[in-house]
Chains A and B, each alone.
Chain A
């Protein structure tokens, strides 16, 4: 079936190091949304990208949408303990009402 693949599953970083998660789709996406879920919490919306090649920044977070609208990435510069959580990408493929979600990348800060 239609899938959104997200890698890596986990990333361990020292505080202050950078973090990147990647999403790849088997088909062209109409949009891509990114969410953050803290441990024990619910997904919280971060951003939506719609245009081919789009890049958006939120402070230390940089989001990209590929030219072919089949891949996306989230990069966090100089991670902080508040960044801990699982980052999900989700996109629309066929139905305007369905978000297809990646499995998430868990950001773990090494003590």
Chain B
């Protein structure tokens, strides 16, 4: 079956613009994770959904970042009033189990560049 997909793959935004990044997890996967990966660094946790419930959003760096998964499948990460420090690759991962004690399947990521 299909893996995790993300769109767009690349996004260039002017500083101050709002962006929306989409993640389609593997069908039936309970868990959905968002990460931010800066160049040369490991992924940093942003937020976690178990079905439609956002159980952990402690990694969101500011109130400009918002994530949702209203029907427990597709998820959107929204960044308002983008800043240059938001430039990074945003990775989405899903897992069939309802916590982080399991293999996570990653999408290809969205590379965001804020000018």
Please list the residues of chain A having a beta carbon within 8 angstroms of any beta carbon in chain B.
6, 30-31, 33, 41-45, 48, 50, 88, 90, 92, 95-104
From DSSP, what is the main secondary structure of chain B's interface residues?
loop
Which 7 A-B pairs give the minimum distances between C-beta atoms? A101-B42, A97-B48, A42-B106, A45-B103, A97-B56, A96-B99, A98-B45
Q: Which residues of A contact B102 (CB under 8 A)?
A: 48
Partner of B43, one of A31, A50, A95, A101: A101
Complex CA gap A92/B100 in Å reads 7
State whether A31 touches B91 (Cβ < 8 A): no
Complex CA gap A50/B102 in Å reads 11
Total A-B contacts with CB atoms under 8 angstroms apart: 66
Complex CA gap A37/B39 in Å reads 13
Question: Residue of A at shortest CB range from B103?
Answer: A45
Q: What class of interface size applies to chain B in its complex with A?
A: 20 to 34
- A45-B104 in contact given A97-B55, A98-B48 (Cβ < 8 Å): yes
Complex CA gap A100/B102 in Å reads 14
State whether B101 touches A30 (Cβ < 8 A): yes
Interface string of B39-50 (1 = CB under 8 A from A): 011111100101
Question: Residue of B at shortest CB range from A99?
Answer: B100
Does B62 make an interface contact (CB < 8 A)?
A: no
Question: Residue of A at shortest CB range from B101?
Answer: A31
